[in-house]
Structure 1
């Protein structure tokens, strides 16, 4: 009786461990998060923030936010922040955005003249985001001081959230 109990116990334990191990393989590692912050007392603003690994395994903070709320159409900015000392963004080169069907769009560098740090880039997306599909993934080609641009793969769930942030949240 005692031996059957232990066999049952180890069989269940092994099943649980395998379920957690292999069940998590299909989960995407990049999940965006809409966050709110106070611009001033009583005024909440929202932005999309996600951590995404580049092709070399370094993590980047990818932040989409609205700026200049006093305008009829607020500016949309995409801020990309890498780990300090690992990479330098080449200013004032544009960010290249490639859609799933191969369409290439250019976002101008908002930090063309004055950058807060070499590992930070910010790009104008006001005219770009409406041209992007809402359900497809994107590739961002980030201009860096090396010869070849750095690639960030943006999952379709993030792109959908960006569209939602722009169209649904004020």
Structure 2
């Protein structure tokens, strides 16, 4: 009988630790990273996350780069909200605020035409090299919305751009 109670206690402790871990680690940022060969010697590498903005709206955050013959051609960030949640005002750069207060702007890739009003895409080629593994950034979105990109995702983006 003593063995049963010891086993039950240790099982409950393990369950408690697992549940506690769920509280401290964001579970809405599961990433899907993949590489697609678009043509011979031309690859598209993507990192996809679902994040919530300061109002609780869900966003698809897609960081991707294209390489051709081993040379990086583009590094872009695409932001997709649910329809009718936000309308991007093209052409308008994306304001990026670093946790240390530094501010940069990413060029709007949909200045001419956007596939949908709830989609924005920005040139991250000049930005990615300025991100460090300890940074988190805040993206200023239309309608006073903001989206925080945690340091763990920044590390992932940097590792993709170093491929």
Q: TM-score range by the shorter chain?
A: 0.7 to 0.9
Aligned to 2:25: 27
Matched-pair contact (CA < 8 Å) for 1:31–1:158: no
Distance of 1:140 and 1:58 partners within structure 2:
14
- CA distances 1:64-93 after superposition (whole Å, capped 9, x unpaired): 112463795412110001111221112111
- Which among 122, 126, 146 is matched to residue 151 of structure 1? 146
Q: How many residues align?
A: 162
Runs of 4+ in 1 over 4 A off after TM superposition: 4-17, 41-44, 70-73
Distance of 1:5 and 1:160 partners within structure 2:
45
Query: Unaligned stretches of 5+ in structure 1?
Result: none
Matched-pair contact (CA < 8 Å) for 2:34–2:46: yes
CA-based RMSD of the aligned residues comes to 2.6
TM value normalised by structure 1: 0.80
The 5 Å alignment of 1:62-101 reads: 62-67=61-66, 69=68, 72-101=71-100
Answer with 1 or 2: which has the greater Rg. 1
Query: Unaligned stretches of 5+ in structure 2?
Result: none
How far the C-alpha of 1:56 sits from its partner, in A, is 1.5
